[in-house]
Structures are given as structure tokens and as C-alpha cells.
Amino acid sequence: MAEDFSLGTVKVALSPLARLEEYLRSRGMRMTQQRRCLLDHVFSRHEHFDADSLIEQMPSSGREGHVSRPTVYRTLNEFVDAGLLRRFQLGGRSMYEHDYGYPQHDHLHCLECQKLIEFKSDELLELRSHVARENRFHVTGHRLIISGICEDCRRGQRRMRRRAGVG
């Protein structure tokens, strides 16, 4: 219990699994195969994803480890509540990314290939609290997406990806 886990760059006291267990226990909810499968899958890589691409990547119906569509949606909502995932909207669909153990960041969004590029900016956080103070506003979070064309696409490798998903 004294070990620190490093996911991305933020040190956290618990693994995502332990964190989920804690969350579930505190709410009288149960740890199930489905929740564990989804957690494993989601935290096995740092990636932006939507419900659909997650479902595609998981074992398909009938196979070991399959999770039904409604359960995927339900569980993603739980993970967001548990502080494990962050949700944001991109082009009308919900996108998810790691929240727990992963530093706050923002995105460049390529309109050509849909790629998301992460960046971090302390200035933005300053700007945020400055604006909030001016407007007597109590900030809980923010979302900045800068859209445009990435370098690869400007060089001509166009329309190579259809969905967001960053390596």
C-alpha cells in the first residue's frame, strides 16, 4: 500500500484498479469481470478513445472478455464518476481519456486526420484563474481544443485515419 504508481507523469498512491475498488466499495457497488476487463483495457494504453472504438477493440460478442454495449456505456460513466477517466465532446461524440494519474493537458485537433495532439500549458491555468477571478466565477475545470491541420497532413499524407486515436 505504500508503493507509488507512475502513470503518465503524475504519481498516485493507488493503482487504477485499487482506486476503482475503493470507489466501488464506498458506494456498495461490486467488482465484476466486465468492470475489470474494461479497466484493464482502458489503462493498458494512453489513448484518446470513444465508446465505439473501445467496443471495437474489446473481444467481440460470444468471446471471452466480451462486454455488451450498454455495459460499456454504463461503465464509462462510472469511470468518469470515479475520477479515472475524463470525458469531452468532439464533433458530437463523447471522447474519453485518462484522468487518474495523468496530468491535466489540452489538445490540438487535426481537422484532416482527426488526430489529437496533447499539450500542457501552465500559462493557460494562470489565464483561467485570472479570468475566473475577474468574473467572480468558481472554476472546476476547463476544456481547450485548438483545431487546424497537423504537420503530417500539410505534407500531403491526408485522410489516413478516420477516428481520433493517438499513439
Partner DNA sequence: CTCAGTGCAAATAGTTTGCACTGAC
Partner DNA sequence: GTCAGTGCAAACTATTTGCACTGAG
Q: Is 162 in the site for a copy of itself (CB under 8 A)?
A: no
Closer to a copy of itself at the Cβ: 13 or 132?
A: 132
Q: For strands 106-110 and 93-98, give the pairing.
A: unpaired
Q: Are 99 and 109 in contact (CB under 8 A)?
A: no
- Taking Cα atoms as reference points, which of 44, 32, 35 lies closest to residue 79? 35
Binding residue (CB under 8 A) for a copy of itself from 149, 157, 158, 160: 149
- Taking Cα atoms as reference points, which of 124, 164, 118, 157 lies closest to residue 141? 124
* Interaction mask 1-40, DNA, x per CB under 7 A: -----------------------x---xxxxxxxx-----
Instruction: Enumerate residues 26-45 that contact a copy of itself by CB under 8 A.
Output: none
3-state secondary structure of 66: coil
Closer to a copy of itself at the Cβ: 10 or 131?
A: 131
> Closest approach of Cβ 50 to DNA, in Å?
6
Q: For strands 49-50 and 85-90, give the pairing.
A: unpaired
User: E-strand spans in 2-76?
Assistant: 5-7, 10-12, 49-50
Instruction: Enumerate residues 100-129 that contact a copy of itself by CB under 8 A.
Output: 108, 110-111, 117, 119, 121, 123-124, 127-128
Where on the chain is the footprint of a copy of itself (CB under 8 A)? 89-92, 94, 108, 110-111, 117, 119, 121, 123-124, 127-128, 131-132, 134-151, 154
